[in-house]
A and B are shown apart, each in its own frame.
Chain A
Amino acid sequence: MGRVGSGLVVAGVTAGGMALRRVLRAVAPGPAHGGLSRERWLVVTVALPLEEVAPQGRWPEPLAALGDRVEVRVRPAPGDKGTELAARLREATPGGLPGAAARWTGEDPQQELRSALRRSKQLLEVGEVLEVEPAPHGHRTATPGGALLEKVTRLAGREGRL
């Protein structure tokens, strides 16, 4: 298999390809977020007691930054697992093609919320958000597979099952 394009072929056919397709399918046009008339609660569990997750009812900064666009609630997680931090958008995000386009370009409000929840959890648990870029790397041959993976990687902090 030659160097150019091999990334794409492999990505298209293996387990990873499956996952890639699933990530992509998740951003494809369809009923908005499971066809609900309102948005689902997105929830992360933070390994801290409730008082530390929302001291005096204050939400962590990334969630607070979303202001009135989100509803937020917290409750203790069972089994000493910490605090469940849940949030949902007050307004349903567009479904169909416009919704898919927004997700693909990373402008979907639901993605913004997902990212805010993940960052809130990390800020609370470790005090900062883990960065990986810029990471040292060698020459990036321009292949369609590489471009696709770069795109998926860029969305990967904002997408997912959360």
Chain B
Amino acid sequence: MRALCWTGVNETAVETVEDPRLLNAEDIILKVTLTTSCGSDLHLVGGYIPFMRAGDVLGHEFLGEVVEVGPAVRRHKVGDRVVVCSFVSCGRCWYCRQQLFSLCDNGNANPAITEALWGFAPGGCFGYSHAMGGHAGSHAEYVRVPYADQGAFTVPDGVDDTTALFASDAAPTGWTGADLGGVGPGDVVAVWGAGGVGQMAAAAAWARGAERVVVVDRLANRLQQAEQHVGAETLNYEECDIGAELRELTGGRGPDVCIEAVGMEAHGAGPSYLYDQVKQQLRLQTDRPTALRQAVHACRKGGTVFVLGVFGALADKFPLGAVMNKGLTLRGAQMHGHRYIPEILERMAAGTLRTAHLATHVMPLEQGPEGYRMFKDKEDGCVRAVFRPHG
């Protein structure tokens, strides 16, 4: 089959690879209908998470049709249209029972790598390097899905493919941030990053009853999407003083919940951005926490900062004093998608959650390398490059 592979730092190529096969009794094989790039891939493709081997298949946000089922699969049959959670979780370990699915004990066959890096190993993710389990990614004609009864969800009739695609990763990631960030009625929520993840965090904040939702970015087309499709207010950090705007907007208090949906390659302005870039390039720090610092400063006393953006290891000049003295709650997570996908699909079916606008560039898989380049450079208003492996 054809698959989009990582071939080296900032290089990808479409190659002919072996077809996947059933390896465990709870597996299904999916014929991939749509599979999309995600901001997380940029950290991988750019070499910031160096546990990729040349030839590894990328992709973790996808939807398709079941073509083969393992003997222990109960919930799915050949022909089902399913969307698959980007994290691989068993549903039975203690973490899964606590609904902390991305922390699953049984989804990553290579635990030593992240144990060395972080102390303990989180779960596995499709197409996300050998550190996250070495699962082949979804940018291919077919993909094998382990623990299919847990991770694959039947898409309700009436929800189109493009909408349902984002129930795989972007939407449940946003839900993870707003839900575990404790957003509730009356809250003012600020979200940094107007990519797929930031927009979905804003949508989730509304769904949890927020009073006001503000999205921060600098890319006009993305801010415009956040206004039009999510109903958020927006701020362009290149055109205003974010801290001052947020104070004005919140009666001088600051947002109750600040969600960071930017990650380790944050862009910034001024000398500290230069400092971060130089340090990151010299590998004296691995992560550029520009937006995270701003979120910590802007957050109201006793508020919550939720880190949805992916960080790899070490960040410099982290305002720990603000966290401590303002009594903040700081929390982060990879997405616990299994917990939110049913609710998200219901909202999609009811027409109360819009996601299809994120698919700004839909193309055949063969154009994958070009799609990634556009997505990385945010060229032509690219929010997500979405691939059709079967044309």
Measured CB to CB, the residues of A under 8 A from B are 1, 3, 6-7, 10-11, 13-20, 22-23, 26, 45, 47, 81-82, 118, 121-122, 125-128, 130-141, 143, 145-146, 149-150, 152-153, 155-162
Interface segment out of the listed B44-52, B78-86, B166-174? B44-52
* B112 engages A82 (CB within 8 Å): no
Inter-subunit contact A153/B110 (CB<8 Å): yes
Complex Cα distance A50/B121, Å?
24
Which 7 interchain pairs have the tightest Cβ spacing?
A: A15-B313, A160-B112, A138-B5, A156-B110, A138-B15, A19-B117, A16-B50
Separation in Å of the A46 CB from the closest CB of chain B? 9
Chain B positions within 8 Å of A15 at CB level: 48-50, 117, 286-287, 312-314
A-B contact sample (10 more), CB < 8 A, given A125-B93, A135-B135, A138-B16: A14-B312, A14-B313, A126-B147, A127-B25, A128-B24, A132-B109, A138-B54, A141-B54, A152-B113, A157-B112
**Inter-chain contacts of B19 with A (CB < 8 A):** 136
The residue on A at minimum CB distance from B107 is A130
The A-contacting residues of B in range 87-129, CB under 8 angstroms, are: 90, 92-94, 97, 105-107, 109-117, 119-121
Chain B nearest CB from A104 CB (Å) reads 13
Q: Does B20 contact A (CB under 8 A)?
A: yes
Q: CB distance A136 to B112 under 8 Å?
A: no
Partner of B116, one of A22, A47, A135, A143: A22
Provided the pairs A125-B90, A134-B18 are in contact, do residues A141 and B119 lie with their beta carbons within 8 angstroms? no
Q: A47-B97, A138-B7 are in contact. Are A156 and B313 (CB under 8 A)?
A: no
Q: What residue in chain A is nearest B141 (Cβ atoms)? A: A136
Shortest beta-carbon distance from B130 to chain A in Å: 5
User: Cβ of B15 and Cβ of A139 under 8 Å apart?
Assistant: yes
Q: Note all chain A residues with C-beta closer than 8 A to B135.
A: 132, 135
User: Given A19-B117, A160-B121, are A137 and B112 neighbors across the interface (CB < 8 Å)?
Assistant: no
B3 touches A138 (CB 8 A): yes
Interface residues of B (CB under 8 A from A): 1, 3, 5, 7-9, 11, 13, 15-21, 23-26, 47-57, 72, 90, 92-94, 97, 105-107, 109-117, 119-121, 130-131, 133-136, 140, 144, 146-147, 283, 286-287, 312-314
Of all chain B residues, which has the CB nearest A139? B55
Distance A131 CA – B313 CA, assembled complex (angstroms): 27
A55 and B121 CA atoms in complex are apart in Å by 29
Residue from B20, B53, B72, B147 in contact with A136 in the complex, judged by beta carbons closer than 8 Å: B20
Q: Which of B94, B114, B120, B286 has the most CB of A within 10 A?
A: B94
Q: Which residues of B contact A149 (CB under 8 A)?
A: 51, 53, 130
Residues of A within 8 A of B136 (CB): 135-137
A-B contact pairs, 9 of them (CB 8 A): A1-B8, A7-B53, A14-B313, A47-B93, A138-B13, A143-B54, A145-B50, A149-B51, A161-B116
Chain A residues within an 8 Å CB radius of B314: 15
A132 & B23 in contact (Cβ 8 Å cutoff): yes
CB distance A137 to B57 under 8 Å? yes
By CB atoms of chain B within 10 A, which of A16, A125, A145 has the most? A16
Cα separation A11 to B3 with both chains bound (whole Å): 24
Contacts of A150 in B (CB 8 A): 53
Q: Hey, which chain B residues are within 8 Å of A17, CB to CB?
A: 50, 283
Q: Which one of A14, A121, A126 contacts B286 once the chains associate, using CB atoms below 8 Å? A: A14
Contact between chains at B17 and A18 (CB < 8 Å):
no
Known: A126-B106, A136-B3. A162 touches B90 (CB 8 A): no
A16 touches B121 (CB 8 A): no
Which residues of B lie under 8 Å from residue A128 when comparing CB positions?
Answer: 24-26
Of residues A47, A126, A162, which shows the largest number of chain B Cβ atoms within 10 Å of its Cβ? A126
A121 touches B105 (CB 8 A): yes
* Contact yes or no, B53 A14, CB < 8 A: no
A152 to B111, CA, bound (A): 11
A133 to B105, CA, bound (A): 19
Nearest CB to that of A158 among chain B residues? B112
Looking at A11, A19, A128, the one whose CB has the most chain B CB atoms below 10 A away is A19
